[in-house]
Every structure is written in C-alpha cells, then in structure tokens.
Structure 1
Amino acid sequence: APSPKPKRGRKPKPPAAASPDNDHPSSPLAAAADTPKPGSSSGPRGRRKSRRGRHELPSDADAALRAPPSPTRRGASKGAANMKVDVPAVEPLRWEQVAKVMPSMDAVVKVFCVHTEPNFSMPWQRKRQYSSSSSGFIIGGRRVLTNAHSVEHYTQVKLKKRGSDTKYLATVLAIGNECDIAMLTVDDDEFWKGVLPLEFGLLPALQDAVTVVGYPIGGDTISVTSGVVSRIEILSYVHGSTELLGLQIDAAINSGNSGGPAFNDQGKCVGIAFQSLKHEDAENIGYVIPTPVIKHFIQDYEKSGEYTGFPILGIEWQKMENPDLRKAMGMKSDQKGVRIRRIEPTAPESGCMQPSDIILSFDGIDIANDGTVPFRHGERIGFSYLVSQKYTGEKARVKVLRNSKIHEFNIKLSIHKKLIPAHIKGRPPSYYIVAGFVFMVVSVPYLRSEYGKDYEFDAPVKLLDKHLHAMAQSPDEQLVVVSQVLVADINIGYEELVNTQVVMGD
C-alpha cells in the first residue's frame, strides 16, 4: 500500500545533543562522606550533571536575573473570541532569593594556599609543595572564615576579593580541626575597603531554601548553587574525626566550594560548606557547618585568644531500649537514660562516675533511652549536642542512677587526649633515631601516609584495634612504633621490624 501523504507543517527540530557523562566509576568504599579537597588548577574532571536540573548561576548578577518574559497564550472560543488567557510560567529557581543574596556576595573571597605536608616516611624532611584554591568569607573584626582542611599544613595563604585582581597575604589566626573551621586576617587596609562583613542567621528549618556561594572547580568566577535543607542532625566530620551538629542540603558542594558561605533567603549566613557525600546512588548531597558550631568556634577564640576545642564526655555509652536491661539496672518505668560502658582514665568524670551508671539527664535536660534529647518542635537530637555547646573548663550538672539511687555531680568539661590523635595540629611529626631504628608516634596522618586513604582496611589489625578501642591511661601516654630500619652494621638481622609497637624502653 502506498504511504500516506505527509501533512503540511513545520519542519521538526533536530534532537538536542546529550551532554557527555564524565563521571568516574566509584568503588563501594566511597559510600562514606569525604571532605572535598580544595580545588587546584590540575583538578579532576567535573562531576556528572544532576538529573534534577539544579542550576548553577554565573557571577554576573544582572545577566542571571535577566529572565525572559513569561509567554502568553491566546485562546478563542465561540463565546469569547478575543479573550486573552495568561498562563503563568513555572520558575525553575527562586530568583528573588538569589537577588537578596547578591549584596552579600562581595564578602565572599577566594583562598589560595600553598601546602607543605610532612613526610612520615622520612620525618626529618617535608614533601614537595603544592597549591590549592578554596572559598572563604569576611566576618566582623577584620577576620575571614574558611575550612581548616583548606589551609592544612599551610606555608602561605593569600586572599582575593570578588572582582579584584590583587591577592593579599593572609595570616592564620586559629585552626579548629574538630569543627573544620579556620580563621584568617589580612594586615593590608586596602583589603577591607568597600566590603561589609556577613551577618549570621538562625539555624534553618527543614525545607528552608539555602544558597551556597563559592569558587568551585570549573571556572575562576564566583558560583551560586541553590537547594533546600533536607536534614539536621549530628554528623561525622571527616576532617575532624568528630561528631557535631550539621546540615544536609540537596545542593552540590564540589572541590573549591569548601569554606564558602551558605545563605538563607534573607541574605544572612547560616553555615559553611565543608564536605559532600560521594556514592554512586546519591547525587547533590552536600553538608554545611551550621551557625551554632561556627559561633562556638568564634567565641572560643575570643575568650582565650586561641582555639581550645569542643569538650566531650570521655565515656562510651549504651542505649537502654531493652526493657529487660532497664529492669536489671533497677530503672523505674518512668526513668530513661543511657548506660555507661567505659570511662576514659584521663577524663575528669572518671573520679565521680562509674561504669554501669545510668545517665538520666545533662544540665537538667532528660536523656531518652536511645540517647536523644528534645531539639526543636517535632525534632530530637543526640545528647552529645548539649556537651558540644559547652566550652573547655565549664561545668555541667549530670544526674545518674547507681544501684537504684540517684546521684548528681558537677563535672568540669575538658578536651580528652586520644591515644592515636586525629591531627598533629601543624607540628612536624615526632620521631627519634637510634642504632638505625626510626621510632615514631602513631597518629591518623601517619596511618594515612603509610597505608593510604583506606588505612582503616589496610593497616595492621593491632594498630586499628588501638585506634578504635584503646584509651590513654595517662595524659602523656603515646603509641610508638618502629616505622623503618635504616640498614647499618649494628642492626643486622632486625631489618624486618617495621610497624612494630614499642611496649617498654630503658
């Protein structure tokens, strides 16, 4: 049969070319949250574009806000042939939100850092220098905030303002590795002219809109990405190896975004971008340091002139959700709390609290059987949040249940020393050489240097057991190993004593 005659009409448009997929395959071990490294000129390929259509705005605010007018449809019927029907267009982004953020964008700066990492294989020297770039923003008191991992092992730090071609030499005032925040300043008065410091807003609620501003890889100008707050809880800070309050947002945080501010719809800073989730089944999941953590860092520095850290309770605790366990511990039906499993010998609370004590409340706030406390309307959060809001040296009122009797203690909070520290705080590694044996103090940077980023799987089991479970018995206790043996006549036959723990020495 002959083919039907084609109808007259417009020539169909050719299909749009699909964007290339540049995403690299990820391993199953990449499911954990990773801190994005500061972007560099020779950084990795860009991540795959989001299928959800998240827009990234250019630095030109006028061009970004110059949206085309909404199209008008004209419909005709027998009753109203000339009636004009307006169909509102669907806006892909909240442009009015971005417009409020624009005046604050001048306070966002680009951070250039030269790093010189220690060489743990040869601790008497350092590795080759390398450069990176990240983001930061100006706050009151002629200070700039960025991420701690952005200036880790820094040799030189420079800042460049938006729209400027001058890089200003910066001084590092404080580095908070636990909270992944660093504070900088610039001595040159020219840097502070014509810019207003950012104001901090309140902790956002779920589904509140946020705008992340920074200098990620893929370009030299400022970048804006919008999203919403999808989760508020205690998060694991990868760089700090600690757990603090954090925000999860559905905006992408790429390399170079680290240290950039997150704005609310009023143009106030509600957090600092610092890490993202890398997983083959997850896209556009970023994490932001909220204002309570930021203000704690700033006030801690202002109180003592240096960063002291976030205090913790030096205990391991167990949930009391099992009814038989609660009955065995002598708890009444209306009593709730958590059970102490272990107490660090160096912790101040070791002098008053004991293992198997039930912590009922902290500073007058009752603790549930799952270890949570009321947070905001309809929300609960881990009680460690209450501890993290304290400062070093402050006291807290703790109510415990022991042998069916209630006791109350005033505990002085402090920073506890870990047997294997998470950071060496910018100092060179501690080592000692005798008879060709190189003795070194074990730390997380040492494990990462010797066994790679997957050291938790590749390091010797005995070292990992010490890292996860061992507690320091005294404030000056260290875990020392023979990192290598420099061949000499005096140590013939001992060449294989590598990563062997030193238990005792004369």
Structure 2
Amino acid sequence: MLFRSVHIVARFSNSTSTSVARFFYSPSLLRRGWSFRASFISRCCSSVCVRSDIDVARDSVVKIFSFSREPNVVQPWQTTEKEYSSSGFVISGRRILTNSHVAGDHPYVQVRKHGSSTKYKAEVKAHGYGCDLAILSINSEEFWEDMNPLELGDIPFIGETVYALGYPRGGDSISVTKGIVTRVEPQTYSHSSIGILTIQTDAAINDGNNGGPVVMDNKVAGVVYENRSSCDDYIIPTPIIKHFLTAVEETGQYIGLCSLDISYQSMENDYIRKHFKMSTEMTGVLINEINLLSSAQGILKKDDVILAIDGVPIGNDETIPFRKKERINFEHLVTIKKSGETVLLKVLRKGKEHEFNIIVRHDQPLVPDRHLPSYYILAGFVFVPLTKPYISKSCKICECSSNRKAKKAGEQIVIISQVLLNDITTGYRDFKDLQVKNVNGVEVLNLRHLSELIEKCCEEDLRLDLENGRVISLNYTSAKEATSWILEHHGIPSAMSKDLKIESSQLGSSEAALTTQ
C-alpha cells in the first residue's frame, strides 16, 4: 500500500499539495483508513512543490566574477587588485540583478549560468550604492537561451519560510538554504546613510551569496545583501528593488533614496506633548532641525510637530502602521518616493494645525558612501575627502561623522590622511585624521577648494587651521619644494589626483580666456 501511495504522489506531483490533500481527506477515504496515507501524501506533495519552485528559480541564478582595483583610502594613489565572486539572477528585460558593492564600479565583470562552464562578459548598466543594487547586461544570444526571468513578489510575513539561492564561497556549485523571516523593519545598510526597509532571516547565508535571490512561492521576496552575525542575515525587499528599477527605467540612472533631510525626536513623554500643545488624541514627532539643503527649508520650522504624512498618522514613537499589527519608522513613506514627488504633511505649529506639500529629494550626506580616489599633497601632508570606507579604516574618526548632512552644495570634510616625514613636516606627525577647517583664514568647502587656495597662494606664510584648534604653519616656497622631493622618494606619480588636475586645467583655461578678452 505504501508503494501505491508513493505512485499516487508521483502522478499528482504537478498538482498543488492543497488539492491533493483535500481529495485524500474526503470522508469516504477516511472511513477506509486512509488518514495516515493522506497525511503522508500531503507532506510529499508539499515537498515536491517546494522542490519544483526551487528548481525553476535555480536555473535563473548566476555566478558573478568581478575584478577591480580598489584604492588605498590612506594612500589613494595606490590601488590593490582584487577578485570577487558573488551571485545574481535574471529579471525581465534581459537584465541581471545583483548587489552594487560586488559589481557596481568594477571595470571587468563576468557571469556564468547554472550548469555551464562558460563565462560571459557583462556590462554594468546602472547601480546605486544607497540601495546596494546593480543591473548587468550581457550581449550574447547564447547566454539568453533557455533563461527565464524571475518574477518579483511581495514582502513575506514574519514566520513565513523563504529560500536563499546563490554561490557561497568555499564551493563552486549553487547552494539553497532555508529559513524563516524573523523581522521586517528599516535598517541602515552598510552603504547607505538612511534607514531602508529590510527583511531579516535566520537562513544560513554566507559570503558569495550576496546578490542572489531569496524566493517564496516561486517569486522573488528580496535580494541577499549582508551578513552581520552568525545568525542574522539581511535581505533587500521588493519595494526597494522596484524603486530602483523604476528610477533606472525612467532616467537611465539611480541617484539615491529620498529624504526629508530633517532631524526629529519622539514625543513619548507626557509633559513634552503638553508643552507643545498636543491634544490627547494627537501623536507625532518633533522637528529639531531642518537641513539648509532640504526642500522643506522655509516651509517647516523648528519645533513643528509632524502629525501625519500622506494621511497616515505618525505614532509618538516615530512609527506608522505597516501590515497586520506591525509598525515601522515613518520615513519609509518618504524613502520609497521618487525624487521630485511630493508628500503631504499635517503639522502642529504653536497649537494650530497646518498642511504642507513638500517636494522630496534624494539624500545628501556630508560623508559619501563611496568616492573615487581623490587627493592633494603638499610637502608631506596628504589631504583627502572623508568617506565611509575611510572611517572604517581609521580608529580616530568617530562613526557618527558618517551621519552628518551637507549644509552647502559640494561640501566635503577634508582631512589629513597621512603625514609623510621630512624637514617641513617635523612636529606634525600626530596631525593625521584631523579635519582642515581654514586655509589662510578662508573656510574650506571641499578638497578642490583647498587645492585651489594653496595653489593660488600669493603669500610666503601658509596657515592651515585644523579641528581642535590645531595649527600648521608653513613657508609656501619651501613646502612646494619639499613636495617634489616627497613625490620622488615615495614613488607617487602626482601631487594631485586626476580629477583635480582636470578641474585645475579647466579653471586655468577659463582664466586665460578672460585675460585675453
């Protein structure tokens, strides 16, 4: 009889487990003692359906090989060649979706299909570090033969089962791991400065799985992007994926996620709600500061209380209703907007309610997530703009610096990344990692501005004011002479990076044209 049951399972393997179970749990069969067999068959059919879903998804998952020359954040004229392997999967439009950090700005990328030994050259069509997603294209008809795109699904609920597919390091074949969704809430990605909706799962995900799909019911629930501990793994959910794809389809590029660019605090304290004239039924968040570059500048004010956004009430704990009884941070309603769209804010100001339409723009962090190597050298001082990769390498710079917002267009934090010793830099060895505030009394906007202030200096005395009140005083002529010696003895090709050279030459050409006129 067991053989007959298994035979029946095979015959019904193309049907859903639900319909098969319903058939075998009919009253007539139950009276004949089929309950055990029906339960057995239901479990078998469920397993068959899951395997069928995984088999379909597996053929759409690819292994990605990328090669890059990564800059040394402390000595940016030096690069290190690195090779990576990761995962990706086919989506509609003959595109491959993966993580930005594994393929985004890498000059050479190859892709291999499941079950194949051939590697195909791929081109990065678009990428966004803020959401850690990238799109690859392959110009080969052979590659696209029998390749079926995976369909994007919905966000799974907490407790639902998902499957992660990819190519973890330590092996060359595809891996499938099973887990359950443990949490859905905004988190700050490693390559982003704002909180973005994230799925957390207990599925065993390892390096190399990054960029691969997480599937449920034969649809993509998200993209693997990060492993933070031995038991917690993170997934980029489909709303963020769709936000990225839509932006690329409409504009050809991805600028970033949107933000109101304000600072705020919760209103959970009874007395503070009373102080700001909130009635008992009112809930919201208190605005502490509005960034100078925010589109809300001149509309919202400090001490305004935001009660609702697009008609959705904000809780005193900064959250909004999400699904069932879940709650997430209210900024999610802003991050999923497209740049240039508006949000309707209900605001309490001095006891009176107001409504304002605010145009949302992409986030403008003062410290970028990634930045092409840019540097300027004077004597033995190496100046660079502060970036998140630099913060991760430095033990002196506080992590909180990465969350600061730009107050002026083009603003950067310029720091001294290294002090190469010579007669000119004697006594300044410990000035590494300090921010340069002023050059001869002029506030420094960014690295290009600093290089211009120094290159155009007409005085013999050159003074650099740093954070914490530190001062560097140099003889300009001696410093320039020492620069040539430093470049030669340290094997540095140039005193400034290529981007500063181009801007300097363009500036020089413009000035020459004005002089001729």
TM-score band, normalised by the shorter chain?
Answer: 0.7 to 0.9
Q: Distance in 2 between matches of 1:98 and 1:313?
A: 45
1:179 aligns with 2:116: no
Q: Which residue of 2 aligns with 1:126?
A: 79
Q: TM-score, normalised by structure 2?
A: 0.74
Q: Deviations over 1:335-356 (max 9, x none)?
A: 1111111221211112211111
Q: Which residue of 2 aligns with 1:22?
A: none
Aligned residues: 407
1:276 aligns with 2:227: yes
- Higher RCO (CA < 8 A, seq sep 6+): 1
Tell me which of 46, 62, 73 is aligned to 1:109: 62
Tell me which of 297, 317, 325 is aligned to 1:378: 325
Query: SS where residue 298 of structure 1 aligns?
Result: helix
Q: Distance in 2 between matches of 1:491 and 1:322?
A: 53
Q: Deviations over 1:390-414 (max 9, x none)?
A: 0111111111111001122111111
Q: Deviations over 1:62-81 (max 9, x none)?
A: 9xx9xxxxxxxxxxxxxxxx
Q: Distance in 1 between matches of 2:36 and 2:238?
A: 43
Query: SS where residue 65 of structure 2 aligns?
Result: strand
**Structure 1 unaligned blocks of 5 or more:** 1-61, 66-82, 452-457
Matches within 5 A, 1:27-38: none
* 1:442 to 1:221, Cα distance in 2 relative to 1, 3 A: same
* 1:138 to 1:494, Cα distance in 2 relative to 1, 3 A: same
Tell me which of 91, 94, 105 is aligned to 1:139: 91
2:162 counterpart letter in structure 1: V
Q: CA deviation at 1:152?
A: 5.1
Q: Compute the RMSD of aligned alpha carbons.
A: 2.4
Q: Deviations over 1:214-243 (max 9, x none)?
A: 111232111111222222221232233432
Query: SS where residue 223 of structure 2 aligns?
Result: strand
Q: CA deviation at 1:104?
A: 2.6
More helix by share: 2
**Structure 2 unaligned blocks of 5 or more:** 1-9, 14-32, 441-517
Q: Distance in 2 between matches of 1:177 and 1:95?
A: 38
Q: CA deviation at 1:84?
A: 11
Q: Percent identity?
A: 41
Q: Distance in 1 between matches of 2:400 and 2:114?
A: 48
Q: CA deviation at 1:489?
A: 4.1
Q: TM-score, normalised by structure 1?
A: 0.76
Q: CA deviation at 1:91?
A: 6.2
Q: Which residue of 2 aligns with 1:11?
A: none
Tell me which of 386, 410, 429 is aligned to 1:476: 410
Q: Distance in 2 between matches of 1:377 and 1:496?
A: 56
Q: Distance in 2 between matches of 1:150 and 1:95?
A: 34
Q: Distance in 1 between matches of 2:427 and 2:269?
A: 56
Query: SS where residue 230 of structure 1 aligns?
Result: strand
Q: CA deviation at 1:209?
A: 2.1
Q: Distance in 1 between matches of 2:101 and 2:275?
A: 46
1:167 aligns with 2:119: yes
Tell me which of 427, 431, 445 is aligned to 1:497: 431
Q: Distance in 2 between matches of 1:467 and 1:238?
A: 11
1:275 counterpart letter in structure 2: E
* 1:290 to 1:434, Cα distance in 2 relative to 1, 3 A: same
Q: CA deviation at 1:466?
A: 3.7
Tell whether the 8 Å contact from 2:193 to 2:365 is kept in structure 1 after alignment.
no
Q: Which residue of 1 aligns with 2:381?
A: 437
Tell me which of 187, 192, 198 is aligned to 1:235: 187
1:405 aligns with 2:344: no
Q: Which residue of 1 aligns with 2:304?
A: 357
* 1:351 to 1:84, Cα distance in 2 relative to 1, 3 A: closer
* 1:133 to 1:386, Cα distance in 2 relative to 1, 3 A: same
Q: Which residue of 1 aligns with 2:480?
A: none
* 1:371 to 1:218, Cα distance in 2 relative to 1, 3 A: same
Q: Deviations over 1:298-336 (max 9, x none)?
A: 001111110111101211211111111111100111111
Tell whether the 8 Å contact from 1:345 to 1:471 is kept in structure 2 after alignment.
no
Tell me which of 250, 253, 267 is aligned to 2:205: 253
Tell whether the 8 Å contact from 1:348 to 1:411 is kept in structure 2 after alignment.
yes
Q: Distance in 2 between matches of 1:233 and 1:499?
A: 35
Q: CA deviation at 1:464?
A: 4.5
* 1:100 to 1:174, Cα distance in 2 relative to 1, 3 A: same
Q: Which residue of 2 aligns with 1:78?
A: none
Tell me which of 333, 342, 347 is aligned to 2:289: 342
Q: Distance in 1 between matches of 2:191 and 2:225?
A: 9
Tell whether the 8 Å contact from 1:115 to 1:152 is kept in structure 2 after alignment.
no
Tell whether the 8 Å contact from 1:301 to 1:308 is kept in structure 2 after alignment.
no
Q: Which residue of 2 aligns with 1:73?
A: none
